[in-house]
Chains A and B, each alone.
Chain A
Amino acid sequence: MKKAYFKINIVFVSFGLLAILHTPQESLGNASQPLDFNRDVRPILSAKCFACHGPDTEENESGYRLDIKEMAFADLGGYQGITAGKPEDSELYQRIIAAEDSIQMPPPEHKNPLSQVEISVLKRWIEEGAIYDEHWAFEAITRPLIPEIQSNAENAIDHFIGKELEENKLAFSEQAKPETLFRRIHLDLTGLPPKMQDLDRFLNNVSKESYSAEIDRLMNSPAFAERLAMEWLDVARYADTNGYSIDDHREMWGWRDWVIKAFLNNMPYDEFIRQQLAGDLMENSSDSMKIATGFLRNSMNTHEGGTIAEEYRVASIADKIDTVATAFLGLTIKCAQCHTHKYDPISHRDYYRFFAFFNTSAEPGKGAVNGNTQPLLEVAPILQDSEAFRQSIEQRIASLEFLKTHPEEFLGTARQVWERETLANAPPPRSESSSTPKQFPIPTSEEAKGLSWIWTDQLGAREYAWFRHTFSLDALPKEASLFISCDNEAEIWINGKKLGKNPDWRTPSVFDLTELLRTGSNVIAVAGKDWTKGGSKAALVALIALPDGRYIKTDGTWRVADQVIPGWNDLLEPPGFRQASIVASHGAAPWGDTFAKLKTIANDHDQEALLKAIRKADGERSLDEQNLVVSAFAKSNGEMQKLLNAINGEIAVLQESLKNGKTTVMVMDDSASNRQTHILVRGQYDQHGEVVEAGIPEMLGALDETKPPSRLTLAEWLTAPANPLTARVTVNRYWQMIFGTGLVKTTEDFGSQGDYPSHPELLDWLASEFIESKWDVRFLIKTILLSRTYQQTSNVSQHSIQRDPYNRLLGRAPRFRLSAEAIRDNALQLGGLLNTSLGGPSVYPPQPTGLWKEVSHFGHPTFFTSQHFFGDKTNEQHYRRSLYTFWKRTSPPPVMLAFDAPNRETCAVRRSSTNTPLQALVLMNEPQFVASSLGMARQMLKTKGDPEEKIRQAFRWATCRLPSAKEIEILLAAYQRQLKYFGEHPDRANSYVGGKSDPETAALSSIGSLILNLDETITRE
């Protein structure tokens, strides 16, 4: 006996880490406190034994199970796995200490051995009587008694926290300073810093009442609703694109606004769940309730070519199950998709019974192109009025129109170069009469016989092909014209003289040849180019019409070369030319009848108008002229054409919304309710097993049999007060939102592999309170905020950090970095830039050029989100709160990603919190953070007092406190140095501020940046 304890103690010395990290288990070293099965023993059995001796019986050769009490203690024929009080008579213990490989458990080949500590724990547990409790999270929630404590308490929370602290010889920390606490509640409740007049008002009257009143005021603000929505968007994997493959756009912001509105109205949380799961099935279902079910439609989807629809339909339901199970039940049901769960009592069959709830919708496996996939609902915006909606769309269109005519971001100076070339190559202005386009005598089908598309068949040919054809004329024709069309563009010479260009096969050109031809030999030479880089080689069709119905046609007698030397286009054929290959006869696919396109080609009149427009300076062109120039430019520049297609694609979608004042939301329906659900063998979409009816996992009971087993009945079961999980999981997530870590650290897993709660009774007390308050989120959060636990200082003493480095006992307030969204919103607000308008279509703050294009399928002409990122050009949209930023799943907003936002492909209930150099780069250099520091400088300039006073105030805006003497000394010295630096380099001041600047503004802007980069500024203390 003694020896065993000695062993434990030794182990704790050498693994000191363990003892400190998981303080509740520290009692292990203390013989006076018995082990707790769920806290101390079950995690070991689960991690090391359940894989074979657990719910999944397939790999269990012996049939012995440890996850069910009766079986764990069963008589195995004269011996027992566990004999209470007697390790020596417990086969389990004997096997885990066995030295022989053949009988040792876990088998050595499993590479997952028990540690000495774990073996000791199991031994001690058996010695102490082997008390076996059911898994805590599946037991009903009972309201625990509030324990007595020595310390002062504000409310019941402090009793639960205080008890653990006292047992571990720790104490509450002192209350945080009023200004710290004030900043804390603002950041926690709204994700935004307080305004100084509010801070001053509070500091003039610090009291429990004023603190409570401030909480109420914040909870009534839209910013609070937005903050809670932000937390929910990760859980609900909200995004603005489909996620798979082409990553086409979708429109789900209507659902996002529903979420904000639900929090604005403090919708009871059980109702919040029910509407999102089954709003369409509820009595008197309104549009709003149907929109709520968009929650289930946030799954990824695809319209990739080759998609097998059923495969993706199944994947989308699997995603819904994962989300519902993680978000509400804290269960990893997903594990049972292919086989029975290894750790929790969820069978393969249970999984597909759960699957059946979601298998009744008409949602197809292959998604729609260019927008939302059925079933969907067309609705007016929820948060914006029609005027605000119209304005936000018009602003977006304006940004896109601007980009059309200013493509420099993507193409550099290509347009300007093209304009200069166009002018240089332009024929001299003609007289009015000759500007009428020459009518081309379109041949009859008989006359066109033999006319062919020609190209080179040379392997590896790229982009260019050079064509020539010589023909003889006995006499000069009275008139002659050329019809020409090249895929994708061509330059044409007659007898060595340049005739002009054909921009693309879609717009064939007609030229008058009359004055260029001569008697005897003539040559037409064409340089063809294919601008779908690497796509193919140039193909050409051309036809010269001579009087009396004679035609000279492209056919196999034309000559082609893959490389040329100067002079190739003149009368003598240089070496390297050979016979051209015929691709297709004219009229065949893919080009079709190009004569028909003649009607639509730009005539000389347009050409004149174009030249006139180009001759004007950029700024002097009318909108029509700008568009004329840009569409002509696009015809000669493939990249511009793609840009234009994408921009026009988005504008077309926006125009539709503008016209009807509505948006659409993907929703759930029940129109495929007769679809049968099969167990899918090994989770394979096409391996149908037996048919199952909808139902909940058996270990959690059964649904009300008087009701149909529908999503609605599921939602009602989830939100019934008797459900052991939903309330616990929810209060735990809100606790995590406020304290950074949940009472159950594994927010996503309340199963046997999850962490045991640091304060199980507090979790149950909060869950009970929450249910009794009718699932009132504001009540829950306010209760937490009123506790002494919450109001402690986050400063940490050496003693406290040694004893409890991860602060699991909460003897101090946690101190943690703000979320990605809050960091950006905070900076914009401090810079006076934040636009706090509510709801509406997602917005596009700037990001570095090319991020989307690098990964995207930018060949598709209309799927605009799958191509270039088009930033907004108006401040109204630039500086909206971060939750409105357009979320492209395959390339999420880079600033958000840098600060640990998930990519929103799947449900995420917990973000990691990292500290990286990339974050430093964002805070120092990202243009909106730089703009925010300039914004701070402008506000400092308006602030009364000397530079020192200005800086003191700016420091306070960010931290809610005035700088210490040492701090202001550093800040002032920095200011003086920056002033000198910019004074000596006025050009640098200008470029830093982005316009004419004085050194003072630039220096203050540096100070703004310094303040925005402070650890304290991005930290909730």
Chain B
Amino acid sequence: MMNLDHSTSRRTFLGGSSSALGALALSTMQGTVTQASELGLPHHPPKARRVIYLFMSGGPSHIDLYDYKPVMVARHGEELPPSVRGSQRLTGMTAGQKNFPICGPIGNFAQHGKSGTWVSDFLPYTSGITDEIAVIRSMHTEAINHDPGITFINTGSQIPGRPSAGAWASYGLGSVNENMPAYVVMISQGNGKNPGQPIFSRLWGSGFLPSNHQGVLLRSSGDPVLYLQDPPGISRQNRRDQLDDLASLNRLKFEDSGDPEIETRISQYEMAFRMQAAAPEIADLSTETEETFELYGDQARKPGTYAYNCLLARRMAERDVRFIQLFHRGWDQHGSLKTHLTSQCQDTDQATAALIMDLKQRGLLEDTLVIWGGEFGRTAYSQGKLGNGRDHHGRCFSMWMAGGGIKGGVSHGETDDFSYNIAEDPVHIRDLNATMLHCLGIDHERFTFRFQGLEQRLTGVEPATVIADLIT
């Protein structure tokens, strides 16, 4: 039987990060900064404190957005030279096609900003922020279908079972906001292809990491966080009173049993109580100005839209949520390329650019890493009739990064004349992840978790390199 003064016991059991007991109690908790220091993180001074990952699910067409190919314009409709196509695999959807006609970009490209970055007129707003972003035109992945593709880019492996990038960040760096989880996920549905390809909870799952690192879904309808709302008839004050009772009873149990886990539980109930206020507060846009809505567009007023999620992302960045990930669906333009891509861009372009500008004007861009992109690109040749659509293409595609630790106004990597193969500076998903971790102050090779006998890491076992060209 232990009879400790409460304040003493609290210090003893939760106090010092160097004590075994502290570690014991913390091992089951929400990731904390204390835990990060125990992992020896960060490895070097971080440039980014947090990440906003704008994930474009379905495979946006790099050819029509970022990777300008005048040759393709000139040779629109001609057969893609077999030497370009090579022998690599195609999906079951176009593998049987008799012809592979080149489909030139369906929009018009121009150079923008001081940097002269090429962007198509599908993205008029993004064209205005080119000096802030580093476009990587030489991304590549081995995946050619959605499921393995989005699993790969979000977890570093095509095979399910690995933790997501956000879970790694939560595990490694913990939360700096004591009212909100370290890793928050929001989903929106594009107006292009609706419904788009499915997504899965494994994309923000914790894999073999402790499950408290899985992404928490912030939802646009119902409770913003599952079961956030008290049962009907229970007022805030009444909940507070009941929590005090619960804490008193649990504390008595702690005195009896001596199990430090009970202290942890008490603190988790307190965080839950705070989260009950903090999560709705994030979703409460009543304090946002008209200028802000003009910046993000009117859609930002409508819960569940991409623009709304972008605005929430900024609000969470202000509140120091560590890893914020948006999933926007509908980028799978096998057909109706022109109309669907137009809709997808209308959904996202303005708000994406607004987010960058808004972060910048609030001084948040310098320590927030923003990543934009999907799981692969789309083919240079038409799927079906000329101009109808494009199939999946993993051999090259475009993404961009901006903010903390990233040089703006950069275009990195080159593809061939048909945007089919990489000509210069290939960047694999692993390299992208290594770069992301680098910005967060983490050496991807030393950031590991032992599972199934291996020191597992986000970047996997194949070599991965931080993209030196992009980082400040």
A and B: bona fide binding partners: yes
- Chain A proximity of B357: nearest CB distance (Å): 25
Answer yes or no: B21 CB below 8 A from chain A CBs: yes
Answer yes or no: B29 CB below 8 A from chain A CBs: yes
- A247 to B201 CA separation, bound complex (whole angstroms): 12
Instruction: List residues of B (209-251) whose CB comes within 8 Å of A's CBs.
Output: 209-212, 214, 216-217, 219, 221-223, 225-235, 238-239, 241-242, 245-246, 248-250
B residues near A987, Cβ cutoff 8 Å = 233
Answer yes or no: B93 CB below 8 A from chain A CBs: yes
Most buried by B among A849, A855, A858: A855
Answer yes or no: B339 CB below 8 A from chain A CBs: yes
CB pair A920 B269 closer than 8 Å: yes
Count of interface residues, chain B, beta-carbon cutoff 8 Å: 106
Taking a contact as CB atoms closer than 8 A, the residue among B201, B271, B339, B342 that contacts A903 in the complex is B201
A residues near B275, Cβ cutoff 8 Å = 917, 921
> Given that A335-B453, A924-B272 are contacting pairs, would A981 and B245 also be in contact in the complex, using a CB cutoff of 8 Å?
no
- A891 to B342 CA separation, bound complex (whole angstroms): 30
Instruction: List residues of B (95-154) whose CB comes within 8 Å of A's CBs.
Output: 144-147
Answer yes or no: A794 CB below 8 A from chain B CBs: yes
Q: Binary interface profile of A, 880-892, with partner B (CB < 8 Å = 1, else 0)?
A: 0000000001111
Q: Binary interface profile of A, 735-777, with partner B (CB < 8 Å = 1, else 0)?
A: 0000000000010110111100000000000000000000000
A residues near B249, Cβ cutoff 8 Å = 967, 970-971, 1010, 1014
Quick check: which of B68-76, B255-263, B291-299, B429-437 contacts chain A, the rest being far away? B255-263
- Chain B proximity of A116: nearest CB distance (Å): 15
Answer yes or no: B450 CB below 8 A from chain A CBs: yes
Taking a contact as CB atoms closer than 8 A, the residue among B30, B229, B343 that contacts A460 in the complex is B343
- A459 to B192 CA separation, bound complex (whole angstroms): 13
Most buried by A among B191, B269, B446: B269
CB pair B202 A905 closer than 8 Å: yes
Taking a contact as CB atoms closer than 8 A, the residue among A307, A806, A903, A925 that contacts B24 in the complex is A806
Answer yes or no: B198 CB below 8 A from chain A CBs: yes
- Chain A proximity of B379: nearest CB distance (Å): 12
Minimal Cβ-Cβ distance residue in B for A860: B195
Answer yes or no: B268 CB below 8 A from chain A CBs: yes
Answer yes or no: A930 CB below 8 A from chain B CBs: yes
CB pair B23 A17 closer than 8 Å: yes
Q: Binary interface profile of A, 312-323, with partner B (CB < 8 Å = 1, else 0)?
A: 000100100000
Answer yes or no: A308 CB below 8 A from chain B CBs: yes
- Chain B proximity of A177: nearest CB distance (Å): 11
CB pair A794 B257 closer than 8 Å: yes
CB pair B20 A21 closer than 8 Å: yes
B residues near A919, Cβ cutoff 8 Å = 268
B residues near A992, Cβ cutoff 8 Å = 231-234
Answer yes or no: A300 CB below 8 A from chain B CBs: yes
CB pair B231 A925 closer than 8 Å: yes
Answer yes or no: A245 CB below 8 A from chain B CBs: yes
Minimal Cβ-Cβ distance residue in B for A337: B159
Minimal Cβ-Cβ distance residue in B for A341: B453
Answer yes or no: B363 CB below 8 A from chain A CBs: no
- Chain A proximity of B386: nearest CB distance (Å): 16
Q: Binary interface profile of B, 434-469, with partner A (CB < 8 Å = 1, else 0)?
A: 000000000101100011111100000000000000
Instruction: List residues of A (889-925) whose CB comes within 8 Å of B's CBs.
Output: 889-892, 894, 897-898, 900, 903, 905-906, 911-922, 924-925
CB pair A534 B340 closer than 8 Å: yes
Answer yes or no: A497 CB below 8 A from chain B CBs: no
Answer yes or no: B374 CB below 8 A from chain A CBs: no
- Chain B proximity of A809: nearest CB distance (Å): 14
CB pair A798 B258 closer than 8 Å: yes
CB pair B24 A533 closer than 8 Å: no
CB pair A247 B272 closer than 8 Å: no
A residues near B248, Cβ cutoff 8 Å = 970
Answer yes or no: A874 CB below 8 A from chain B CBs: no
Instruction: List residues of A (9-24) whose CB comes within 8 Å of B's CBs.
Output: 16-17, 20-21
- A974 to B92 CA separation, bound complex (whole angstroms): 64
CB pair A917 B271 closer than 8 Å: yes
Answer yes or no: A857 CB below 8 A from chain B CBs: yes
CB pair A917 B201 closer than 8 Å: no
- A344 to B181 CA separation, bound complex (whole angstroms): 38
Answer yes or no: A246 CB below 8 A from chain B CBs: yes
> Given that A897-B211, A1010-B246 are contacting pairs, would A17 and B28 also be in contact in the complex, using a CB cutoff of 8 Å?
no
CB pair B92 A533 closer than 8 Å: no
- Chain B proximity of A609: nearest CB distance (Å): 34
Answer yes or no: B160 CB below 8 A from chain A CBs: yes
> Given that A300-B160, A857-B197, A894-B226 are contacting pairs, would A850 and B253 also be in contact in the complex, using a CB cutoff of 8 Å?
no
CB pair A850 B225 closer than 8 Å: no
> Given that A890-B198, A917-B275 are contacting pairs, would A335 and B258 also be in contact in the complex, using a CB cutoff of 8 Å?
no
Answer yes or no: B387 CB below 8 A from chain A CBs: no
Answer yes or no: A507 CB below 8 A from chain B CBs: no
Answer yes or no: A989 CB below 8 A from chain B CBs: yes
A residues near B268, Cβ cutoff 8 Å = 915-917, 919-920
Q: Binary interface profile of B, 187-201, with partner A (CB < 8 Å = 1, else 0)?
A: 100111111011111
CB pair A988 B212 closer than 8 Å: no
- A910 to B190 CA separation, bound complex (whole angstroms): 38
A residues near B454, Cβ cutoff 8 Å = 332, 335, 342-343, 753
- A850 to B21 CA separation, bound complex (whole angstroms): 41
Answer yes or no: B265 CB below 8 A from chain A CBs: yes
CB pair A749 B228 closer than 8 Å: no
> Given that A460-B342, A534-B193 are contacting pairs, would A988 and B233 also be in contact in the complex, using a CB cutoff of 8 Å?
yes
Taking a contact as CB atoms closer than 8 A, the residue among B20, B211, B339, B453 that contacts A343 in the complex is B453
Answer yes or no: B398 CB below 8 A from chain A CBs: no
A residues near B287, Cβ cutoff 8 Å = none
CB pair B201 A990 closer than 8 Å: no
- A47 to B450 CA separation, bound complex (whole angstroms): 10
Answer yes or no: A83 CB below 8 A from chain B CBs: no
Taking a contact as CB atoms closer than 8 A, the residue among B145, B210, B211 that contacts A304 in the complex is B145
Answer yes or no: A797 CB below 8 A from chain B CBs: yes
Taking a contact as CB atoms closer than 8 A, the residue among B160, B259, B455 that contacts A905 in the complex is B160
Q: Binary interface profile of B, 261-280, with partner A (CB < 8 Å = 1, else 0)?
A: 11011001101100110000
CB pair A17 B194 closer than 8 Å: no
Most buried by A among B93, B192, B195, B242: B195
A residues near B216, Cβ cutoff 8 Å = 918
> Given that A850-B221, A905-B160, A1015-B250 are contacting pairs, would A306 and B145 also be in contact in the complex, using a CB cutoff of 8 Å?
yes
Minimal Cβ-Cβ distance residue in B for A315: B159
Q: Binary interface profile of B, 62-96, with partner A (CB < 8 Å = 1, else 0)?
A: 00000000000000000000000000010111000
Q: Binary interface profile of A, 501-533, with partner B (CB < 8 Å = 1, else 0)?
A: 000000000000000000000000000000011
Q: List 27 A-B contacts (CB under 8 A).
A: A20-B20, A244-B147, A245-B145, A306-B92, A332-B452, A460-B342, A462-B343, A753-B453, A794-B259, A802-B21, A806-B24, A815-B257, A816-B261, A897-B211, A905-B161, A912-B209, A914-B211, A915-B268, A916-B30, A917-B181, A920-B268, A920-B269, A921-B228, A924-B227, A925-B228, A925-B231, A974-B245
7 additional A-B residue pairs with CB within 8 Å, beyond A17-B19, A915-B265, A917-B275:
A300-B160, A534-B343, A795-B1, A806-B24, A815-B259, A915-B29, A970-B252
A residues touching B (Cβ–Cβ < 8 Å)? 16-17, 20-21, 47, 111-112, 243-247, 300, 302, 304-308, 315, 318, 326, 332, 334-335, 342-344, 459-462, 532-537, 686, 746, 748-749, 751-754, 794-798, 801-802, 805-806, 815-817, 848-850, 854-859, 866, 889-892, 894, 897-898, 900, 903, 905-906, 911-922, 924-927, 930, 964, 966-967, 970-971, 973-974, 977-978, 981-982, 985, 987-994, 1002, 1006, 1009-1010, 1013-1016, 1021
- Closest 7 CB pairs between A and B? A753-B453, A992-B233, A306-B91, A890-B200, A988-B233, A920-B272, A917-B272
B residues touching A (Cβ–Cβ < 8 Å)? 1-2, 18-21, 23-24, 28-30, 89, 91-93, 144-147, 159-161, 181, 187, 190-195, 197-202, 205-206, 209-212, 214, 216-217, 219, 221-223, 225-235, 238-239, 241-242, 245-246, 248-250, 252-254, 256-262, 264-265, 268-269, 271-272, 275-276, 330, 336, 338-340, 342-343, 346, 391-392, 443, 445-446, 450-455
